[in-house]
């Protein structure tokens, strides 16, 4: 009996020991990307996943990968669950991914301490830990092109412009409707700092994740307080409901600005009533870009993707494209910097630090006018790109403002301080030893 | 035939009352411990330890805690995840204020904080019973979850709004934080779970366990027999929350190493832990482990194991299929054996004992 | 003192100075309450007839709405989609009765509760794999649900009534009335009440339990479909709705697990209570107290009436 059990135990141990799959084949670059096509946040997760996937499919179909090396792209479903994200991280690591895109603040937080040990760069595009903009403290974490703090500062810059200067903000009331989670509370320190300086009132309207689709009391509170402007930090099902409730409660849509996550699908049901609703973002929408048309022609029409043809180029889909461009350009850079064809995580980290996507480069990529140039450095892992306003005209988003740069002289001290406090509270945080490459 | 108790004589009361009266059981346990302590750290990869073994152990501990309350005392609670959160935050605050004291001490001590909170929310149990009580404990769950987000003092005013696990060492070896080797963290976790299981086993087999079971079977009858209901029920709440708290602290500090608490201590987790003990077996410690394995490890194994075995499903489809398979399996096992996997195991043992004869 | 002022004086001062807002808050609370009551109603129906605490009610709401919208997306006209969604819900009731309830008959409550969790998991996976996981827009216009809003000038302010909310309240009331008539005056309804009173006695007078269960689960499915349409029209049809269904739980403890009027009154109390609490006192604690306030309201009631507002008195014997 005991023999049998021992044998069984050993066999079991062997079996489970063996099932972490070996690294990918040597002639390709492996990317494992978190996604959530299920669960309460799938409304945001699906278009992003589609965008990233289609862009890599395009690179493989059109150019045969990057620098002649095929990209093996794989999605790992997380359902926006930290637990599953951890599983995905471990899988991505064991399969030798060259980059990790957590797509949830919780997952990013769980992975950040491991990045420098596992040698996998983390790319959290405009989310995650704002402090990770500091390359000095977080050599392995990247959050281009802006942080939530930058976003809040651009929002204030925009409304100051509309009101006629920062000094006109005095006495105004600004409301922040936010998901009651670390993500949603992110801009509060920036808004508070500005409120103190310019003398406006900040009102907070938290919405718990379980109440995302039940916001009526929040909007009643907004009716009571009559804020002059509203800034929304929403995600998943919170966005469409928030926009709907705003329209229901008669809040002037023109004064309703959101951080960069709502997509067309979130606004469309409200239709004409949402006219004037604004989204702060850093890239254009539309299918006119050559790259988008190539995706339609070479990927979707060929049956390589399930993305509906008309969704290509929509707002959140574009975010997926933007992220995929960053990753692929970082890989290209890494190939240049190291001279290797098949790069690994360490190389891609160097590629990201030397990332420099100029306006000409965007044009070459078939995305002229899509966004502003992005340049990262060893110290700056963010770029602090300018943002502009996309306004809903009743049927689609249109760009209605010039790009506005973040108020970095206000945000930078916050980033530095937060990075420092992260390093101290995570006692034993290593100081940077990674060397810095010259941009190529 | 495999499980022969013939020839194993008990010559003292102590031997007769032993938890594992059979030699085979003791050997089996030793083998399991050997595999867990030696074979797994040596042979299993990071992936298996991190995504299968560690969550399994953490949730086993939480399930044992809930089993003490629900399985042994008959009080249903849906606040387990909230109590786990209390443990995690208590541990975080303690280790920030007293970084000199060993983290293991604080992980165990944090259980007392959640025990106190548990007693507080256990007070209504004197008047409310059954599903009514279950829903009442949801108040604890939602309130605590709200506190974790709303009280910045709890997370030391971090801008990330989450627990950031500092590196702490034991005998110079890092056991928490990013630099701690996964095997070390696993062994710490395993030791804690084994220790606390042993403790729980002694509790439920002793006087307290009998009191709890008397209350479970009929509380009025128990009261008439001289068991003080208030004390007994609150003690069950305290012990149960203690286990949950320690499990929560272990979850954040040893397993995840930093996490957004609104997510890991959400209501869904409370339900999952309740389901672990139901499918594993109410009032059974072994059942807690089996249930945790079923609910916590099975989805992971299905998700990553199937593609590894060459069944080509991936992404969202796999997730959907996973949900359906798990749902179907839960129903299947309930129909096969409503008293849980632990009962199945008992039946199997019985069969082994008399095999190859039918009786 | 300042805190006391904010707790005891300021909210009431606001109520007095802006009565229109108070009316609006109560109205929003009532609408939410009606919807909570509908979900709770589904629970109560099933609990009464089969003693099952149906964890899957929330996912049934999502599943029903998703079926409706998903079918419409695939080109089925709206009226046919409604009928087909009803057929699907009937099929679901039939399947649950055959596969889950019948083999588990006479098991302890908690086992049946657990089984409904299995159903939940299965339905999540099944629904998403058939219709996709992306949130969908409820086909409110195709179902002739009214849009628009009526603003009423009253009490020195404006109170707006969304036509959709008015419709939701009316539809819910009609449905509850219909159910009441159904239970009171039809043969099946009487059989149902008999089953709720005592399974054994009902069996002994020749009532088929299995048949009753199918009917009850189907009725709960219909209620779920209506709830799904209403919530869906207010926000979106997505799996995030499942969480809202948990709001029915405090309603249940307030109203009692076995009482239909209890579910309705409980729903309204919880709906109004939490909106008023959040609106007037939420700011004191930084807002967002809605998530737990309902439970505390219910708990407070429960300490005085452990069987719920309308529940049957618990008599304990040895």
Mind listing the pLDDT tens digit for each residue in A249-299?
889 999 999 999 998 888 988 888 899 999 999 999 988 999 999 999 999
pTM for the complete prediction? 0.90
Residues A96 and A227 placed together within one structural domain of the fold: no
- Mean pLDDT over residues B23-35, rounded? 86
Smallest Cα distance from C55 to chain B, Å: 10
Report the complex ipTM: 0.86
pLDDT band at C149 (very low <50, low <70, confident <90, very high): confident
Domain limits at C278? 2-304
Mark yes or no for CB contact B330/C114 under 8 Å. Answer: yes
- Give the model's pLDDT for residue B357: 76
Q: Does the structure show a pLDDT above 70 at C207?
A: yes
Q: Which CATH number belongs to the domain containing residue B235 in this structure?
A: 1.10.3470
Q: Which of A255, A281, A307 is the last residue of a domain?
A: A281
- Best of B75, B81, B127, B136 to disrupt the C interface by mutation (most C CBs within 10 Å)? B136
Mark yes or no for CB contact C122/B335 under 8 Å. Answer: no
pLDDT band at B312 (very low <50, low <70, confident <90, very high): low
Residue A268 lies in a domain: yes
Mark yes or no for CB contact B135/C295 under 8 Å. Answer: yes
Residue A433 lies in a domain: no
Residue of chain C whose alpha carbon sits nearest to that of A38: C133
Residue A232 lies in a domain: yes
User: What b-and-e string marks burial along A6-35, b requiring 16 or more CB atoms within 10 Å of the CB?
Assistant: beebeeebeebbebbeeebeeeebbbbbbb
Mark yes or no for CB contact A250/C160 under 8 Å. Answer: yes
A10: chain B residues, CB-CB within 8 Å? 35, 39
- Give the model's pLDDT for residue C199: 78
Domain limits at A192? 148-281
Q: Does B328 touch chain A (CB under 8 A)?
A: no
Residue B314 burial (C-beta neighbours within 10 Å; 0-12, 13-18, 19+): middle
Residues A173 and A82 placed together within one structural domain of the fold: no
Contact B99, B256 (CB under 8 A): no
Q: Which of A259, A281, A303 is the last residue of a domain?
A: A281
Residue of chain B whose alpha carbon sits nearest to that of C308: B132
Q: Specify the length of chain C in residues.
A: 318
Of A4 and B61, the one with more pLDDT: B61
For chains B and C, what is the number of CB pairs under 8 angstroms?
Answer: 138
Residue of chain C whose alpha carbon sits nearest to that of B143: C292
Tell me the sheet residues that pair with A70: A28
Q: Does the structure show a pLDDT above 80 at B316?
A: no
Residue of chain A whose alpha carbon sits nearest to that of C35: A214
A248: chain C residues, CB-CB within 8 Å? 149, 160, 162
User: Could you give the number of structural domains in chain B?
Assistant: 1
Residues A222 and A274 placed together within one structural domain of the fold: yes
C308: chain B residues, CB-CB within 8 Å? 132
Q: What is the largest CA-CA distance in chain A?
A: 85
Mark yes or no for CB contact A221/C279 under 8 Å. Answer: yes
Residue B10 lies in a domain: no
Residue C128 lies in a domain: yes
Residue C312 lies in a domain: no
Residue of chain B whose alpha carbon sits nearest to that of A83: B264
Give the separation between CA B243 and CA B67, rounded to whole angstroms. Answer: 10
Q: Does B2 touch chain A (CB under 8 A)?
A: yes
Residue C174 DSSP SS3: helix
Sign of CA dihedral B80, B84, B87, B89: negative
C229: chain A residues, CB-CB within 8 Å? none
Q: Which CATH number belongs to the domain containing residue A271 in this structure?
A: 3.40.50.2300
User: Could you give the number of structural domains in chain C?
Assistant: 1
- Mean pLDDT over residues A138-162, rounded? 91
Residues A302 and A330 placed together within one structural domain of the fold: yes
B330: chain C residues, CB-CB within 8 Å? 114-115, 117-118, 121
Mark yes or no for CB contact A43/C288 under 8 Å. Answer: no
Q: Does A427 touch chain B (CB under 8 A)?
A: yes
Domain limits at B161? 45-354
Looking only at the bridges linking them, the beta strands covering A173-179 and A229-233 are: parallel
pLDDT band at A4 (very low <50, low <70, confident <90, very high): very low
- Give the model's pLDDT for residue A7: 46
Residue B155 lies in a domain: yes
Mark yes or no for CB contact A428/B46 under 8 Å. Answer: no
C 95-124 residues inside an 8 A Cβ radius of A: 124
Residues A116 and A61 placed together within one structural domain of the fold: yes
Q: Which of A281, A304, A321 is the last residue of a domain?
A: A281
Residue C317 lies in a domain: no
Hey, what are C70's tokens? 């998903």
Partner chains of C (3+ C-beta pairs under 8 Å): A, B
Q: Does C133 touch chain A (CB under 8 A)?
A: yes
Residues A162 and A247 placed together within one structural domain of the fold: yes
- Mean pLDDT over residues A93-100, rounded? 89
Mind listing the pLDDT tens digit for each residue in C73-125?
888 888 899 999 999 999 999 999 999 888 888 788 888 888 998 999 899 88
Give the separation between CA A329 and CA A361, rounded to whole angstroms. Answer: 10
Give the separation between CA B298 and CA B295, rounded to whole angstroms. Answer: 6
- Give the model's pLDDT for residue B315: 65
Q: Does the structure show a pLDDT above 60 at A18?
A: no
Give the separation between CA B302 and CA B290, rounded to whole angstroms. Answer: 16
Residues A421 and A302 placed together within one structural domain of the fold: yes
Smallest Cα distance from B335 to chain A, Å: 27
C 144-203 residues inside an 8 A Cβ radius of B: none
Residues A36 and A135 placed together within one structural domain of the fold: yes
Mind listing the pLDDT tens digit for each residue in C103-116?
888 788 888 888 99
Residues A420 and A307 placed together within one structural domain of the fold: yes
């Amino acid at each position: 009996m005991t023999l049998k059990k021992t044998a069984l135990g050993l066999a079991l141990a062997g079996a489970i020991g063996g099932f972490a799959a070996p690294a990918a084949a040597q002639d390709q670059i492996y990317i494992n990307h978190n996604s959530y096509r299920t669960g309460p946040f799938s409304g945001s997760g699906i278009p992003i996943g589609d965008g990233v996937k289609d862009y890599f499919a395009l690179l493989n179909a059109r150019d045969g990968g990057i620098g002649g090396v095929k990209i093996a792209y794989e999605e790992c479903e997380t359902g926006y669950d930290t637990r599953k994200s951890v599983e995905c991280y471990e899988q991505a690591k064991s399969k030798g991914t060259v980059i990790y895109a957590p797509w949830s603040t919780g997952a990013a937080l769980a992975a950040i301490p491991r990045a420098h040990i596992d040698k996998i760069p983390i790319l959290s595009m405009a989310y995650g830990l704002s402090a990770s903009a500091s390359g000095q403290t977080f050599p392995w974490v990247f959050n281009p092109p802006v942080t939530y703090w930058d976003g809040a500062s651009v929002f204030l810059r925009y409304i100051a412009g509309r009101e006629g200067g920062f000094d006109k903000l005095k006495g105004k009331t600004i409301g922040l409707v936010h998901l009651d989670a670390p993500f949603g509370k992110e801009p509060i320190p920036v808004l508070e700092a500005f409120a103190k300086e310019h003398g406006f009132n900040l009102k907070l309207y938290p919405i718990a994740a379980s109440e995302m689709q039940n916001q009526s009391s929040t909007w009643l509170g907004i009716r009571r307080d009559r804020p002059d402007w509203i800034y929304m930090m929403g995600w998943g099902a919170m966005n469409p409901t928030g926009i709907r409730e705003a329209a229901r409660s008669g809040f002037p849509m023109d004064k309703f600005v959101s951080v960069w996550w709502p997509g067309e699908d979130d606004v469309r049901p409200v239709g004409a009533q949402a006219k004037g609703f604004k989204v702060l973002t850093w890239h254009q929408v539309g299918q006119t870009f050559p790259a988008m048309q190539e995706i339609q022609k070479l990927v979707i029409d060929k049956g390589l993707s399930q993305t509906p043809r008309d969704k290509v180029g929509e707002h959140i889909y574009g975010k997926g494209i933007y992220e995929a461009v960053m990753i692929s350009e970082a890989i290209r850079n890494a190939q240049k910097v190291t001279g290797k064809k098949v790069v690994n995580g360490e190389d891609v980290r160097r590629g990201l630090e030397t990332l420099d996507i100029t306006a000409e480069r965007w044009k070459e990529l078939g995305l002229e006018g899509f966004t502003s140039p992005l340049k990262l450095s060893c110290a700056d892992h963010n770029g602090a790109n300018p943002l502009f306003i996309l306004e809903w005209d009743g049927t689609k988003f249109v760009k209605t403002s010039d790009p506005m740069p973040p108020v970095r002289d206000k945000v930078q001290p916050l980033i530095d301080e937060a990075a420092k406090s992260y390093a101290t509270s995570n006692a034993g945080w290593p100081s940077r030893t990674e060397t810095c490459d010259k941009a190529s | 035939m495999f499980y022969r108790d013939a020839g194993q004589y008990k010559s003292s009361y102590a031997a007769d009352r032993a938890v594992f009266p059979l030699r085979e059981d003791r050997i089996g346990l030793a083998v399991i411990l050997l595999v867990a302590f030696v074979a797994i750290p040596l042979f299993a990869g990071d992936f298996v330890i991190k995504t299968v073994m560690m969550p399994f152990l953490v949730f086993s501990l939480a399930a044992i805690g809930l089993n003490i309350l629900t399985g042994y005392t008959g009080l249903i609670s849906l606040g387990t995840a909230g109590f786990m959160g209390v443990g995690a935050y208590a541990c975080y605050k303690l280790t920030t204020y007293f970084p000199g004291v060993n983290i293991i001490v604080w992980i165990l001590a944090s259980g007392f904080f959640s025990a106190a909170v548990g007693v507080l929310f256990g007070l209504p149990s004197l008047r409310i019973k059954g599903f009514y009580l279950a829903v009442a404990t949801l108040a604890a769950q939602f309130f605590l979850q709200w506190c974790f987000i709303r009280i910045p003092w709890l997370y030391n005013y971090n801008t990330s709004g989450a627990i950031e696990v500092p590196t702490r060492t034991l005998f110079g070896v890092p056991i928490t934080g990013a630099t701690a080797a996964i095997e070390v963290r696993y062994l710490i976790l395993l030791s804690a779970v084994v220790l606390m299981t042993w403790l729980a086993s002694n509790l439920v087999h002793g006087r307290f366990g009998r009191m709890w079971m008397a209350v479970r079977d009929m509380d009025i009858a128990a009261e008439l027999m001289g068991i003080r209901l208030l004390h007994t029920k609150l003690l069950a709440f305290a012990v149960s929350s203690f286990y949950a708290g320690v499990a929560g602290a272990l979850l954040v500090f040893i397993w995840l190493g930093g996490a957004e608490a609104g997510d890991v201590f959400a209501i869904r987790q409370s339900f999952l832990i309740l389901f672990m003990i139901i499918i594993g077996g109410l009032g059974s410690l072994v059942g807690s482990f089996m249930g945790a394995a079923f609910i916590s490890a099975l989805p992971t194994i299905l998700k990553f194991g199937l593609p590894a075995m060459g069944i080509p499903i991936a992404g969202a489809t796999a997730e959907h299929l996973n949900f359906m398979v798990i749902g179907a399996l839960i129903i299947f096992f309930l129909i096969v054996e409503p008293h849980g996997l632990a009962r199945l195991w008992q039946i199997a043992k019985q069969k082994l004992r008399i095999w190859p004869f039918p009786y | 003192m300042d805190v006391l002022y904010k707790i005891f004086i300021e909210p009431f001062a606001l109520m007095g100075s802006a009565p229109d807002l108070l009316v609006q808050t109560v109205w929003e609370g009532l609408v939410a309450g009606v919807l909570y009551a509908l979900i709770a109603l589904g629970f109560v129906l099933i609990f009464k007839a089969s003693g099952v605490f149906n964890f899957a009610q929330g996912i049934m709401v999502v599943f029903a709405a998703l079926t409706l919208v998903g079918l419409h997306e695939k080109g089925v006209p709206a009226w046919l989609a409604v009928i087909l969604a009803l057929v699907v819900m009937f099929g679901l009731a039939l399947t649950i009765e055959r596969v889950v309830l019948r083999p588990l008959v006479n098991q302890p409550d908690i086992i049946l509760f657990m089984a409904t969790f299995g159903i939940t998991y299965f339905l999540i996976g099944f629904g998403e794999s058939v219709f996709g996981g992306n949130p969908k827009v409820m086909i409110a216009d195709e179902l002739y649900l009214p849009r628009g809003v009526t603003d009423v000038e009253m009490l020195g302010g404006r109170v707006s009534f969304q036509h959709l909310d008015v419709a939701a309240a009316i539809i819910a009331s009609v449905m509850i009335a219909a159910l009441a008539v159904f239970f009171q005056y039809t043969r099946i309804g009487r059989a149902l009440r008999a089953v709720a009173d005592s399974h054994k006695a009902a069996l002994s007078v020749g009532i088929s339990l299995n048949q009753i269960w199918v009917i009850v689960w189907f009725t709960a499915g219909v209620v779920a479909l209506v709830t799904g349409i209403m919530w869906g029209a207010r926000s979106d049809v997505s799996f995030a709705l499942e969480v809202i269904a948990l709001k029915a739980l405090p309603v249940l403890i307030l109203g009692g697990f076995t009482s239909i009027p209890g579910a309705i009154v409980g729903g309204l109390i919880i709906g109004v209570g939490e909106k008023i609490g959040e609106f007037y006192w939420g700011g004191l604690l930084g807002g967002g107290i809605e998530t737990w306030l309902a439970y505390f309201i219910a708990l407070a009631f429960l300490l005085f009436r452990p069987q719920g507002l309308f529940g049957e008195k618990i008599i304990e014997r040895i």
